[in-house]
Amino acid sequence: MTNPDEENGTTGRFLVLLEDGAVEAGTRELDRIAGLRTASTAEAAGAEFPGPDGLVFDRLGVAVVSADPDQLAALTSAVDAPGPIAALEAERRVFAISAAAEEAAPGPQVDESVFTWGLQAVGANKSAATGAGVRVAVLDTGFDAEHPEFAGRAITTASFIDGETVADGHGHGTHCIGTATGPRAPGGGAGYGVAYEAEIFAGKVLSNAGSGSDGGILAGIAWAVSNNCQVVSMSLGAAVRPGTPYSQTYERVASRALAQGTLIVAAAGNESRRQEGRINPVGHPANCPSVLAVGAIDVATALGWFSCGTVDLIGAVDVVAPGVDVYSSWPRPKNHNRISGTSMATPHVAGVAALIAQATGARGWELWARLHQAARRLPLPSVDVGAGVVQAP
C-alpha cells in the first residue's frame, strides 16, 4: 500500500514555527494545547529526531513534531489565535541536488594543471584571502574525514541521520566540502578548494542514499549556528511547482541565522531543461528570500542546462557560480571526481563568502551584500543569474 506522505514528498511530521523570543512559551503551549512533550536543544547530534513527541531548536525557534489528527487540529487552531505559535507546515523530504550527465558542445579549453576552472572563474586563485579563522558548515551526505588531502585540517563533524555515522557513503558531501574548503596544492592534480584554510564543519543531514528531511536540515543549521559558523552551504532541497509559497519556517530560520551572523547559501535546483525551453522555479529552501540561492554556469559562462531560474514572484536566483564538470574531492579510494549541478556551484559561493568574511570582517546581511556587490555581471537575464558570478576579494 502506498504511503500518501511519500507520494506528496512529506514525512508525516510537522514544523512548528515559534514567534521571536517565544521558545519557552511555545514549548509550554505545544504541551498545553496538543499534549506534545518536546525535548529542547540546539545541538542534538547522532539522531535525526530524538525526543518523545518532538524536538525544539532553541536557537532557531522551531519545533519538529509528530501529531495525530486531533493534535494537528489543535495546532492549526493555535496558528490563527494570538500566542507563541506563528506557523505550521508539513515536514518535507529533501535530496542531494545532482544533475544527470548530458552531452554538450565542448566549451573553451581552460588550463586546469594548477587550479580548476571554477577557482579561476571566481578569482580565488588570485585572492590573498585564505578563509583562515572562518567557519564553514557544509550540510550534506557527510564527509570522508580521512581523505589524505585534508590531513591536518581543523574538521568538526556531526551526523543528524539516525543509524549513520558522518562517513560519506554517497560522495556528494565530500565533493561539496572539497570545493568550498579543500586544498589548493593537493600534491597531484589541480587545486580545487576556494577557502582552503577555513575551519570545516561537516554536518551529515542527508543519508548515504542522498535523502533526508526538513527536521534533519534544521538540526544541522542549529548545530552550525550554535558553533558560530559564518557560512552554511546546502546543496540540497526539493523541487517545487510554479506559484508554490516558500516555507515560512525556513524563511524565519534563515533570517534569524543572519541576525546571529550566519549566512545560509543553497542550491537553486536542477529541474530545468533549458535545451528544451523549460525553466523550473528555484526549489525549497533556496526559494526563501533570506536564503542565498545559487544557479550554475559552465566554463563558457553559459547557464547550466539544468539550472533553475526565477519564474514567478516567489523564488529568485541571487548569484551564480561554476557548476558544470567540476573537479573536487571524493571518498576514498577514488579520491576525486567531476560532477555537475547547482550543488557544485553552491560551495563555490560558500567558499567565496568565507574569503570575503576573512578579508572584510563582514557577517550576516553585510556578507550577503558584499557578495552581491562584488559579483561580476553577465550578459544574461538577471532572472537566471541574479547579480552575476561571485568574485573573491
Q: Cα separation of 289 and 292, whole Å?
A: 7
Q: Choose, from 172, 175, 284, 348, the residue flagged as catalytic.
A: 172
**Catalytic site residue 207?**
no
| Residue 236, number of CB atoms within 10 A of its CB | 32
In the residue annotation, 172 being an active-site residue is answered as: yes
Instruction: Tell me which of 140, 214, 298, 318 is the catalytic residue.
Output: 140
CA pair distance 140, 343, nearest whole angstrom: 10
Distances (CA, A) of 174 to 159, 181, 219, 374: 14, 10, 20, 28
Count of C-beta atoms within a 10 Å radius of residue 129: 21
Name the residue among 281, 274, 278, 293 with its Cα closest to residue 349. Answer: 293
Q: What residues form DSSP beta bridges with 213?
A: 93
Alpha-carbon distance of 96 to 6, in angstroms, equals 17
What is the phi/psi pair of residue 106, to 5°? -60, 140
CA distances from 110 to 107, 117, 323 (A): 9, 6, 15
Cell of 243: 506559484
Q: Strand, coil or helix: what is 121?
A: helix
Which of 340, 343, 348, 384 is catalytic? The answer is 343
**Is the link from the previous residue into 285 a cis peptide, with omega within 30 of 0?**
yes
Contacts of 1 (CB under 8 A, 6+ apart): none
Q: Is residue 106 reached through a cis peptide bond, with omega within 30 degrees of 0 on the bond before it?
A: no
Give the catalytic positions in this structure.
140, 172, 343
